[in-house]
Chains A and B, each alone.
Chain A
Amino acid sequence: MRNAFIRTLEKLCESNNDVFLLTADLGFRLFDSFRKKYPDRFFNIGIAEPNMIGISAGLALSGKNVYCYSMIPFLIMRCFEQIRLDLCYHNLNVKLVGVGGGLTYGLEGITHHAIEDISIMRSIPNMTVIAPGDPFEVEAITNLSLKYKGTMFIRLGRSDEPYVHSSVPKLEIGKGIRIFNRGSDICLLVTGAMLYKAKVTSELLLRKGFGVTLISLHTVKPLDVILIKDCAKKYKSIFSIEEQSIIGGLGSAVAEVLSEVQYDGLFRRIGLPDKFNRYVGKTEYLHQKYGLIPEKIADNIAKLIKGI
């Protein structure tokens, strides 16, 4: 995902002289080419994220289009107040590009995990929250972000995420996109790098005899409320899937809408528990522990629907 981001941004820079890229000393080798091509628009701020956000505000107030890059906990949790005041209050053109959504950096431990980021960012006025589902969505979102006015948090995984789309999809910020449209028993609403696993889950559920629709909600805020209200009318059961704590993320956002329209179907949030991880292992291992693998998700959904 991060490769798709930097590749796309580099291309955008060819025709846009106002793009600046800041990093807080992360992204080893990732920026080599960008740096070489645009040395006066690349700054390694050092391990000083609050300063990076402040500097990005100053640049944006001077008409620049700024991208700040780091691992999510350092990028958004350390500098929450700088983001709230310096960026969002002024609604500045700064895009916060965070890597390591969820348990991406599994073995690195809690310091590097990001299970609360969507909830935190979603709570700030003027903040747009986006978690692209695959490298093609990253490319589409990066392209859209250039002209997008305002502050945005783009949540990435790392690298090696499998492709779900067959080419760069036509996305619109704030609008979900149907990936899979085969029935109305179950609707899966997914955000971020869980997209691929959700797709496999859909196939398993189909095989179990359910009609399934899969929607990528790359934009968690502003939420595609129209689409969710429409889902409430069409589908007997709705499940949100995300690599985030079940508190405050996509699941909560969807629940807010569903409860207000008095959805009478079955709704469950699928995500990470409200706990600090206590296992040691790579992402896949941790996903197994938390049931975030297609077989487990499909089984749980089937059981829930059958009321077992």
Chain B
Amino acid sequence: MRKTKNMKSQEIEEFQEVAKKIRREILDMIYRAKAPHIGSSFSIVEILVVLYFKYLKISPNNSQDKNRDRFILSKGHGCPALYAVLAHRGFFNSDILKGFGCNGGTLEEHPTRDLIKGIEISTGSLGHGLSIGTGMAIAAKHDNNPYRVFVLLSDGETEAGFVWEAAMFAAHHKLDNLIAIVDYNKIQALGRIKEVVDLEPYSEKWRSFGWEVKEINGHDFAQLFSVFEDIPFKHGKPSVIIAHTIKGKGISFMEDKLLWHYRCPDKEEHKKALKELK
């Protein structure tokens, strides 16, 4: 029992190290490209690390495998985090990250479908991911294929009406192979969610749409492990993980600050941030 516990904490430490490495990569990419969305990338690091290094049935050597789990980054603006994770997971060489957000590069500031790189679908206009994931989940059920479809949404994104069209439909058709994860960092482009258009009571909204809901701290690896172990939360129902996160997580002066939705660190800030990620 003790041994298992130690192994678990050791695993958590390893994941924390990976997360730190990913954050450093994101910081450098965004600094080099003078790109926006560092806060939105930092808030999803732990979620992506857990998915790509532990739970998604995917393989960089066989990235077009018909049976692979599908992952849709519906909040496409968080793609620096996705790119960094894909590179570190072996989908492409880390050098390619240098071509992020620059003339002649291959990685735009919103992702374009490229299965070889492990990018399942082009996103960037918010609200699209859940419907597309629903279509994939129907196909899996129809073909008796066991793959699962994970859709990572931003909180602000769920202000869009057609997200709820998909939510309603997926529950009606009992798509328990569909898993939504909401990055609930509580800040959208122009302000705090609760001041823009409040989502609360949020869990109840999903529940009333027929989804099985779990709320976790989206930066806590122990909670992330246990929530993904439980999928699907209930047979015959789609699952949603409401991940409470912090925008800009990992860098003290960026955390929970609206400014860092768009702001790109200057030289001093970059240096300071790097120090915090040592």
Contacts and interface: CB of A to CB of B under 8 A. Distances in A.
Nearest to B66: A63
A173 interface: no
A54 B121 contact: no
Given A48-B162, A48-B165, A82 B128 contact: yes
A40 to B, nearest CB: 6
A43 interface: yes
Contacts of B121: 57, 61, 90
Given A40-B142, A62-B136, A51 B122 contact: no
Contact of B136 (A45, A46, A50, A58): A58
Q: How large is the interface on B (under 10, 10 to 19, 20 to 34, 35 or more residues)?
A: 20 to 34
A50 B122 contact: no
B137 A58 contact: yes
Contacts of A55: 131-132, 134-135, 138, 166, 169
B138 A58 contact: yes
Nearest to B113: A90
A229 interface: no
A87 to B, nearest CB: 10
A61 B142 contact: no
B93 interface: no
Interface string A31-66: 000000000110101101011011111111111100
B182 interface: no
B9 interface: no
Given A46-B165, A46-B169, A90-B113, A61 B131 contact: no
Contacts of A81: 125
B178 to A, nearest CB: 10
A89 interface: yes
A85 B113 CA distance: 11
Q: Which of B113, B135, B149 has the most CB of A within 10 A?
A: B135
Given A86-B132, A90-B121, A58 B162 contact: no
Contact of A51 (B113, B120, B131): B131
Contacts of A50: 131, 161-162, 165
Interface in A67-122: 81-82, 85-86, 89-90
Contacts of B113: 90
Contacts of B135: 54-62
A59 B130 CA distance: 13
Interface in B153-210: 161-162, 165-166, 168-169
Contact of A54 (B143, B149, B166): B166
Interface centre among A45, A50, A63, A82 (most CB of B within 10 A): A50
Contacts of A57: 121, 131-132, 135
B122 A59 contact: no
A51 B128 contact: no
A58 B132 contact: yes
Contacts of B222: none
Contact of B139 (A45, A54, A62): A62
Contacts of A56: 135
B133 interface: yes
A82 B121 CA distance: 13
B19 interface: no
Contacts of A45: 169
B140 interface: yes
A48 to B, nearest CB: 4
Contacts of B122: 85, 89-90
Contacts of A46: 165, 168-169
A41 B143 CA distance: 11
Contact of A63 (B128, B138, B139): B139
Contacts of B139: 58-59, 62-64
B125 A54 contact: no
Nearest to B124: A85
A61 B113 CA distance: 11
Interface in A13-47: 40-41, 43, 45-46
Nearest to A84: B125
Nearest to A56: B135
Residue among A40, A41, A46, A55 with the highest chain B CB neighbour number at 10 A: A55
Contact of A48 (B125, B143, B169): B169
Contacts of B128: 54, 82, 85-86
A58 B165 contact: no
Contact of A59 (B138, B168, B169): B138
Which of B66, B130, B169 has the largest number of chain A CB atoms within 10 A?
Answer: B169
B127 to A, nearest CB: 8
Contacts of B169: 45-46, 48, 51, 55
Contact of A61 (B125, B130, B136, B165): B136
Which 6 pairs from chain A and chain B are nearest by CB?
A58-B135, A54-B131, A62-B139, A51-B165, A48-B165, A55-B135
7 contacts: A55-B132, A55-B134, A57-B121, A58-B131, A58-B136, A58-B137, A61-B121
Given A43-B138, A46-B168, 19 more contacts: A40-B142, A50-B131, A51-B169, A53-B131, A54-B130, A54-B132, A55-B166, A56-B135, A58-B132, A59-B138, A59-B139, A60-B135, A62-B136, A63-B66, A64-B139, A85-B125, A89-B122, A90-B113, A90-B122
